[in-house]
Structure 1
Amino acid sequence: MRRWARALDRVDRPVTDESPGVPRYLEACAELPRLRGAFAVERAEAAVKREDRLAATRWMDRAVDALAQAGGQETLWHIRLEFVKGEVGRINESANARAQALAIVSRLHSTIHVSPLSSRFAGAEPEAPAMHTVLARAVIDALRQQVRPWGPDAQSVVDMLIRLVEEIPTGLADQDASEELANRLDQNWRLIARALGQLILQARPASLPYPALGLGLEVRHRRWSMMPWELAYRPDTDRLLSLDSVVGPLYRALSAKAVRSGEVSFVQLALNRLNYAKLLLDGELGPMTRRALAAYQKDHGLEPSGQLTIGLRSRLQSALTTEHKPLVVLVRQSPGRQLMSHRGHANTGVDLSRLYRRYGFEVEVVENPTLHGLSGVVRSLISGGRVPSLLHLSGGLRESNGTVAFSFLSGSGEEESYRGYSDDIPVSSMDGLLSTFPNDQVAPIVVLDVDRPRGTAETALHLLQRNAFAGELFSLGRCAAVLGTGLVGREGTQLYEHLVRSLADGSSLSEVITNVRRLGSAPGPRDDLDLGRVLSFVGIALFTNLPWLRLPRRRERGA
């Protein structure tokens, strides 16, 4: 009977409780509730696929009764039943939304997933209520008449954002997509900021988290990674979301699973470095990891529970000291080339190498590099036992073979190719460079420090390209974080002072970006809020699964 029913599903012929043979089958299974429950769960799943809410509800109720009658331990059918319940709830909610909202959700569902991540830690309960708002529900809620506080133009902006993802083909057209969005940011950035905020959050303050980890955005679609999510407005207050103290710092992560796995991998690495185990860095909190945790807890006067908590992770992080100052590899144009090209920090009075040294970093400067030359420097440092903690790339961005590449040269691409010294660095080459770092140490933090071009629209375009480059690099998994910054003029002294000082004083990555963003503006809307300053300070983007990560401290002498 069950095989026959599944065969009918494949030809789109629904099986009801009155279909031939079904009443007799159910009667034959009267004393076998687990079989009845399995059959009902399968029928409910089939109804969900057809979006048949009434049939799914009827079969779901039958499954609940049958599995309750069966008793005993939880089985796979109980788990599948819970999934059905969630899908029926989704169908019910969708059925109550406006037709316009349903049309947009159906277009978004297959291409975009932007969801706030839970603040749950592996082995520990969350510190605050977690957010589980997915994009589809946020859009449905946003398009209801009663929660559209920012006017009818919002619909056209949402449509424009969707079109950038769905209708513009890949390749060189990515540039067209980013140029269109950059121009719209220049024309009315607040409108897009409100649309982005509505896509992230529902307009109910009760659904917002408390500031702990902050708000982690899971962006799965490559083209949506370029979006300036950091500029999003909180819908119910019309404040910049990334500056809102209720929300906490906004960062981007691969997924909730990657956040949890990254935390466990870091703890495994710390236990290995502290000689408590030789664990495989698999991100799984298994029995060997728990035993090593318990041993560490016992040696430090803690209850040897083997459970991973926020406090224990912080303690392990503090124990990872180094013998040397943290090493920064600063890659840039030479000051002479910067002055000739009228771009770079030499034109704004910022001396990054001196700034890093003033705050206790060791600095290795690489000027006017080719990819081969940069790789040679990094390999030499690592082979000599000096593993960089930071890789700071200060340069420009430009199109290269249909994608965005980082560049440290000042001329046009055609001119440099003709002269034979053009060597742009695409994401794939950067990933190859990062693959040379040892696996038994914390992966480096990459700082993408992009020169500011002339004009606000072009600055917005560079921000989108920087975000796309950073998102793609981070997704390859060879760095602990990518920090997208730059795009500043004379005010750069203030930005880099706060950035380097925050990294040096032991602030977490989320605290670093919060310190920089606060320089951009007050959290409330203001008529004189300058887009250029917002792009430079509030637009700083953090891509990481480890928002709590801090640079290791130098071990004190005699310790």
Structure 2
Amino acid sequence: LRSDFDAPDRDRCAPDAALGGDDAPDRDPLAAPGGDGAPLDLGLRMTDATLRALPWELAAPALAAVGLRLFRRAPRARGEAADLRAIQGALARCGFLGDLAPDGDLGPRTRAALVAFQAEHGLAATGEPDAVSTQRLHAAVAGRARVVVVRPSHRAEQRSYRGSRHSGVPVDWLYERAGFETVVLDSPSARRLADTLAEHPAAVLHLNVGLVDHHGAPALDLLGGIVGRVTGTAFDALLPRHAPTPLVVVDTPAPPGRGEALTQLRLRNGFAAELTAVGTARAVLATGLARYRRQQRLYDALVGALATGEDVHTTAAAIRSRAGDGVEDALAFTACALFARTPHERFPAP
């Protein structure tokens, strides 16, 4: 891998030279400069589907040891307008923006509304949609720190010998114990999921479902059969447009065999990369592939970190820090992948 840290900032959606021709890790322009000892955010972005599916995060511990925070860099230019429309919709729902239709433009009325919101909530009144202001606005719209958990039906879990309940660790209970409100959907249709997200704004959308190859594209297997398969592009259409999007946790159930686990890891990473590339999701945390005691350890790290309200990279790092020895731990913990426009994104906490 090659990264030119001295190159000037440029359009991050433009092709980068390296990593097989057009793909390269790049420096996040919002990252700390690194000269004062602060970690440097290293965004890895690639367009080749085969490369996107690989577990580059296995190098994260070595990079962290020299002050580099690895994450998968989603195109910012595609997402900025979507983020601003969501912020405008949230400001309108909270009574700060009047009748202005969300247009994705940070104009004077939107800035004034942000200043008013920030001042009312004790934040620096900058008029800029920074990570903390967006987190507070997201919480104001949601009312409570809510998690929507999507999982297979109990019968489907028993039939496939995988899933959080089959492993004896229902993740919704752990979220509730940490203070989150939970909404659980068993094998929902895509329409039901979209309606639930619109009616119950969520801080976290936790997808505890397996993935399949759907005509060459990774897809969630929501219902079983072709009708229940949802690709990353199709899933993007289910996310809310006029409120900040939740953190999407792709928690892939661990299959019995190591070979199938590697297949699920590649499908998971491919799905997360496609979803974030479309531009609506602010951050996707690709995790899972843990069973029994490992699953308890993973969920403790995941839920515990999310409950602090810190940035999403802190959550990914908390999961990786629980890794022990062996291939299974490497797949379940070290290979946890964060896909985001910036690793500083924050989401509501209890």
CA spacing shift, 1:302–1:397, aligned 2, 3 Å: closer
1:425 is matched with: 230
Aligned residue for 2:207, secondary structure, equals: strand
Amino acid at match of 2:217: T
CA–CA distance in 2 between the matches of 1:106 and 1:247?
19
2:24 to 93, 114, 132: 114
The aligned residue for residue 295 of structure 2 is 492
- State the aligned residue count: 333
For residues 266 and 440 of structure 1, the distance between their equivalents in structure 2, rounded to whole angstroms, comes to 4
Shift of residue 487, structure 1, vs aligned partner: 0.6
The alignment partner of 2:229 has SS state of: coil
Paired-residue identity, %: 30
Q: Kindly tell me: are residues 106 and 280 of structure 1, through their superposed partners in 2, closer, same or farther at Cα, counting changes over 3 Å?
A: same
**Cα 1:441/1:339, change in 2 over 3 Å:** same
* Distance in 2 between residues matched to 1:296 and 1:251, nearest whole Å: 31
Are residues 1:327 and 2:149 paired?
no
Match of 1:318 among 112, 116, 136: 136
User: Which one scores higher on RCO, CA 8 angstroms, separation ≥ 6?
Assistant: 2
Q: Structure 2 residue aligned with 1:247, among 68, 89, 100?
A: 68
Alignment-mate amino acid for residue 299 of structure 2: Y
Q: Is the 8 A contact 2:169 2:295 kept in 1?
A: yes
* Counterparts of 1:533 and 1:240, CA distance in 2: 16
Name the SS for the 2:68 alignment partner: coil
**Displacement of 1:339:** 2.5
| 8 Å Cα contact 2:207/2:249 also seen in 1 | yes
Contact kept, 8 Å, 2:148 with 2:205, in 1: the verdict is yes
- CA RMSD of superposed structures (Å): 3.7
Which residue among 463, 466, 474 is the counterpart of 2:268? 466
Matched, 1:379 2:198: no
Change (3 A) 1:407 1:307: closer
Distance 1:367 1:263, change over 3 A: closer
Partner of 1:391: 205
Structure 1 residue 536 and structure 2 residue 332: aligned? yes
Given the alignment of the two structures, is residue 220 of structure 1 paired with residue 39 of structure 2, yes or no? Answer: no
Q: Structure 1 259/388 Cα, relative in aligned 2: closer, same or farther at 3 Å? A: closer
- Residues 1:210 and 2:38 are matched in the alignment: yes
CA distance, structure 2, for counterparts of residue 380 and residue 351 of structure 1: 20
- For 2:39, the aligned partner's letter is P
**Cα offsets for 1:76-127 (capped at 9, x unmatched):** xxxxxxxxxx99xxxxxxxxxxxxxxxxx79933xx222323343xxxxx64
Paired letter, 1:231:
L
Instruction: Write the distance in 2 (CA, Å) between the matches of 1:346 and 1:452.
Output: 12
Aligned partners of 2:139 and 2:233: how far apart in 1? 32
CA drift of 1:350 comes to 0.9
- CA displacement at 1:539 relative to structure 2: 0.9
When Rg is computed on C-alpha atoms for both structures, the one with the higher figure is 1
- The 5 Å alignment of 1:71-110 reads 108-109=20-21
| Aligned CA distance change for structure 1 residues 297 and 365 (closer, same or farther; 3 Å) | closer
Residue identity in the other structure for 2:65 = D
* Larger relative helix fraction: 1
| 1:118–1:256 CA contact under 8 A, matched in 2 | no
In the alignment, the residues of structure 1 paired with residue 320 and residue 81 of structure 2 have an alpha-carbon distance, to the nearest angstrom, of 28
Does the 8 Å CA contact 1:119/1:128 hold for their aligned counterparts? no
Q: Which residue of 1 aligns with 2:307?
A: 504
Q: In the alignment, which residue of structure 2 is the partner of 1:53?
A: none
Match of 1:477 among 263, 273, 279: 279
Q: For structure 2, which runs of at least 5 residues remain unmatched after alignment?
A: 1-6, 9-16
Higher strand proportion: 2
Alignment correspondent of 1:551: 347
1:215 offset after TM fit, Å?
A: 2.2
Q: 2:160 is matched with which residue?
A: 341
In the aligned structure 2, how far is the partner of 1:402 from the partner of 1:303? 47
Counterparts of 2:129 and 2:229, CA distance in 1: 43
Structure 1 residue 333: Cα displacement: 2.0
| Aligned residues of 1:345 and 1:351 also touching (Cα < 8 A) | yes
Q: Using the TM superposition, give the Cα deviation of residue 466 of structure 1 relative to its aligned residue in structure 2, in angstroms.
A: 0.8
Q: 1:128–1:210: 8 Å Cα contact kept in structure 2?
A: yes
Contact 1:117 1:256 survives alignment (8 Å): no
**Kept in 2: contact 1:399–1:405 (CA 8 A):** yes
2:173 alignment counterpart: 354
C-alpha contact (below 8 Å) 2:75/2:279 kept by paired residues: no
Q: Deviations over 1:462-485 (max 9, x none)?
A: 211110111112212232222211
| AA partner of residue 478 (structure 1) | T
Which of 363, 382, 399 is the equivalent residue of 2:182? 363
User: What pairs up with 1:505-524 in 2 under 5 angstroms?
Assistant: 505-521=308-324
1:449 to 237, 248, 251: 251
Change (3 A) 1:266 1:211: farther
Q: Using the alignment, how far apart are the partners of 1:389 and 1:402 within structure 2? A: 31
> Matched residues in 2 for 1:301 and 1:486: separation?
37
1:5-404 pair list within 5 angstroms: 108-109=20-21, 112-120=22-30, 127-129=32-34, 210-211=38-39, 214-232=41-59, 240-241=62-63, 243-244=64-65, 246-248=67-69, 250-255=70-75, 257=77, 272=92, 275-277=95-97, 286-292=107-113, 306=126, 308=128, 313-315=131-133, 317-318=135-136, 320-322=138-140, 324-369=143-188, 371=189, 374-376=190-192, 378-379=194-195, 382=198, 385-404=199-218
Specify the code of the residue in structure 2 equivalent to 1:246: G
Q: Deviations over 1:471-526 (max 9, x none)?
A: 112212232222211111221001012212222231221111111111115xxxxx
Q: Distance in 2 between matches of 1:338 and 1:303?
A: 48
- CA 508–327 in structure 1, closer or farther in 2 if over 3 Å, else same: same
State TM-score, norm by structure 2. Answer: 0.78
Local SS of the residue matching 2:267: helix
TM-score normalised according to structure 1 size: 0.51
